[in-house]
Amino acid sequence: MKTIQSDNYPIYFEDSIAELEKFVKAGNYSRSFILTDEHTSIDCLPLIQAQFAGHENFDIIEVNSGEESKTIDFCIGIWKMLIDFEADRKSLLINLGGGVITDMGGFAASTFKRGIDFVHVPTTLLSQVDASVGGKTGIDMDNIKNIIGTFTQPKAVFIADEFLKTLPARQILSGTAEMLKHGLIKDAAYWAALKNSDLSIPSAELIYRSVEIKNEVVIEDPKENGIRKALNFGHTIGHAVETNSLINDKDPLTHGEAIALGMICEAYLSHKKTGLSSDHLTEIVTVINSLYPKYNLAAANYETLCAIMLKDKKNQNGKINCTLLTSIGQCSLDNICTDAELCESLAWYAAL
């Protein structure tokens, strides 16, 4: 597997931890910081430290794991640690963790002293195939995901499958949803390959192809004015369900579980509005439902979900804008959906 070249930065897939060591040494940084959470500091940090074997002195900044930590308060904590450790403009921040770490660490670095270098070492499948590529940084506020952030590219991304071995099955499946999405929006053959694979631990080749698809899209449209919206398939409804679940459920949905649900609903809307065939709709629903547990939507108020969708930063002028499918492997951007249509799709899911 070759290194993928993204928007002025490389994404490494082979000997990635050794590549990280080379990168840090070549960068001649005045200081290097590693942002971790309580899981990655135990499960992942030792692999980095073993590689460097004491040759590099890292300062560790640890935050709590979980979406509920992706807030301005934790971000202020990171900034203040950087100040206390006397980080300067030639410092490097290494984000070691899942999407919360890479999104928030990227935001903290992109705004500290008007921007210091950062790299991502994504340790979950979800962050490997999604958050670590594309230059979106962000934090949540008032229960709106990534409402505050920047478009800033990392200097490099290091994808190492060693880290996936420590992940619980549910976390793996959270990433699989984004891989399925990549097939659905852009590559029918890849969708077919995924469908016929054991997805309990996706192969390195499948992960590589997923990153390749995402990278192709974001390079073409870094600031989401056009084709990048393809990546929002399943996310208009999925994000709202995820937000609602985070607020109300004792054991909230993972991102992937919410997106899986969102993809079913939006596949239904695709069938109604953009010509997705009923065979393709059935195939999508069957594959997704075989992987993800059914979620009890009854608890959620559909009106509340629509109100959350309206606050999504992708929507403008009070209209809700969905990316839908025309067939498996092809998508259609900018489909305005009414509250009634969105509610209908939710009810259809609930009745499955």
Within residues 230-249, the interface with a copy of itself by CB under 8 A covers none
Single out the residue of 13, 58, 112, 292 in contact with a copy of itself (rule: CB under 8 A).
112
The full length of the chain comes to 352
Closest distance to a copy of itself from the beta carbon of 214 (Å): 17
Report how far residue 299's alpha carbon sits from residue 245's, in angstroms, rounded to the nearest whole number: 9
Query: Does 294 participate in catalysis according to the annotation?
Result: no
Residue 151 makes contact with a copy of itself by CB under 8 A: yes
Residue with tokens 């992942």: 44
Burial class (CB in 10 A: 0-12, 13-18, 19+), 193: middle
Amino acid at 197: S
Residue 193 makes contact with a copy of itself by CB under 8 A: no
Active-site residue, from 21, 178, 242, 266: 178
Query: Does 38 participate in catalysis according to the annotation?
Result: no
Active-site residue, from 235, 242, 257, 271: 235
Query: Does 232 participate in catalysis according to the annotation?
Result: yes
Residue 170 makes contact with a copy of itself by CB under 8 A: no
Query: Does 28 participate in catalysis according to the annotation?
Result: no
Task: Report residue 340 as tokens.
Answer: 């009634």
Single out the residue of 289, 311, 333, 350 in contact with a copy of itself (rule: CB under 8 A).
311
Residue 145 makes contact with a copy of itself by CB under 8 A: no
Report how far residue 237's alpha carbon sits from residue 350's, in angstroms, rounded to the nearest whole number: 13
Active-site residue, from 39, 70, 120, 239: 239
Query: Does 62 participate in catalysis according to the annotation?
Result: no
In the complex with a copy of itself, which residue's Cβ is closer, 47 or 147?
Answer: 147
Which span sits near a copy of itself by CB under 8 A: 9-17, 109-117, 268-276, 341-349? 109-117
Residue 90 makes contact with a copy of itself by CB under 8 A: yes
Closest distance to a copy of itself from the beta carbon of 284 (Å): 29
In the complex with a copy of itself, which residue's Cβ is closer, 2 or 80?
Answer: 80
> Hey, what long-range contacts does 63-66 have (CB within 8 A, 24 or more apart)?
63/35, 63/36, 63/37, 63/100, 63/101, 63/104, 64/37, 64/38, 65/37, 65/38, 65/39, 65/40, 65/97, 65/98, 65/100, 66/100
Burial class (CB in 10 A: 0-12, 13-18, 19+), 132: buried
Total residues in contact with a copy of itself, by rule CB under 8 A: 38
Q: At what angle do helices 72-84 and 99-111 cross, to 10 degrees?
A: 60
Residue 144 makes contact with a copy of itself by CB under 8 A: yes
Residue 309 CB partners (closer than 8 Å, separation 6+): 236, 237, 239, 240, 315, 320, 342
Residue 9 CB partners (closer than 8 Å, separation 6+): 153, 154, 155, 156, 157
Query: What does the per-residue mask of binding to a copy of itself show for 113-142, with x meaning CB under 8 A?
Result: xxx--------------------xxx--xx
Single out the residue of 15, 38, 88, 249 in contact with a copy of itself (rule: CB under 8 A).
88
Measuring CA to CA, which residue among 226, 230, 231, 287 is closest to residue 260?
287
203 close to 176: Cβ distance less than 8 angstroms: no
Single out the residue of 26, 298, 316, 351 in contact with a copy of itself (rule: CB under 8 A).
316
In the complex with a copy of itself, which residue's Cβ is closer, 54 or 318?
Answer: 318
88 close to 113: Cβ distance less than 8 angstroms: yes
Residue 86 makes contact with a copy of itself by CB under 8 A: yes
**List of residues contacting a copy of itself (CB under 8 A):** 30, 72, 76, 79-80, 83, 86, 88-90, 107, 110-115, 136-138, 141-142, 144, 146-151, 223, 310-311, 313-318
Residues carrying an active site annotation:
114, 136, 178, 214, 224, 228, 232, 235, 239, 255
